[in-house]
């Protein structure tokens, strides 16, 4: 398992989960015409946590900066509680998952930052 400090450092190399917005939809609304509407606008269909279907919209949170979240101490509870290892949307991106898969702690290549401001 990764400790909180390691998670923070990994997040600063990634920042991917603050760049999308996922909107759950009912299966009956996922007809080809509707899906085409979203896809033609840069969105995509994905399985969300809990097995729900969702439209994923590229949307970068206005609080995201190159140094991480600029309201880190006061970020919403959903951001504080977010767990990248449980989010199917992030399974191919989240560095927490990739790091855990390696099964060993090798932090030599993790950039250190004095501005640890990203979600834990």
Least Å distance, CB 34 to ligand SF4, is 26
Least Å distance, CB 29 to ligand SF4, is 26
Return the bridge partners of 47, or none: 53
Residues binding ligand SF4 (CB under 6 A): 10-11, 14-18, 61, 63-64, 69, 71, 75, 79, 84, 90, 93-96, 119
Backbone phi and psi for residue 80, each to the nearest 5 degrees, phi listed first? -65, -35
Least Å distance, CB 99 to ligand SF4, is 8
Angle at 43 between CA 64 and CA 96, to 5 degrees: 50
Residue 34 or 85: the one with the smaller Cβ distance to ligand SF4 is 85
The two tokens of residue 69 are 């979240």
Residue 32 or 66: the one with the smaller Cβ distance to ligand SF4 is 66
- Following DSSP, what letter does each residue of 5-42 receive, concatenated? HHHHHHHHHH-GGGSEEEEEE-GGG--HHHHHHHHTTT
Q: Tell me the C-alpha distance between 107 and 71, whole Å.
A: 26
Least Å distance, CB 42 to ligand SF4, is 19
Residue 18 or 55: the one with the smaller Cβ distance to ligand SF4 is 18
Residue 35 or 61: the one with the smaller Cβ distance to ligand SF4 is 61
């Amino acid at each position: 398992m990764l400790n909180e400090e390691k998670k923070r450092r990994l997040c600063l190399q990634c920042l991917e989960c603050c760049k999308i917005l996922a909107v759950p939809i009912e299966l009956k609304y996922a007809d080809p015409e509707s899906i085409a509407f979203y896809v033609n606008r840069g969105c995509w269909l994905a399985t969300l946590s809990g097995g729900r279907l969702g439209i994923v919209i590229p949307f970068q949170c206005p609080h995201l900066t190159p140094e991480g979240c600029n309201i880190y101490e006061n970020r919403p509870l959903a951001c504080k509680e977010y767990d990248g290892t449980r989010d199917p949307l992030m399974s191919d991106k989240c560095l927490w998952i990739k790091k855990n898969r390696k099964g060993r702690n090798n932090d030599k290549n993790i950039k250190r930052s004095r501005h640890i401001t990203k979600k834990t």
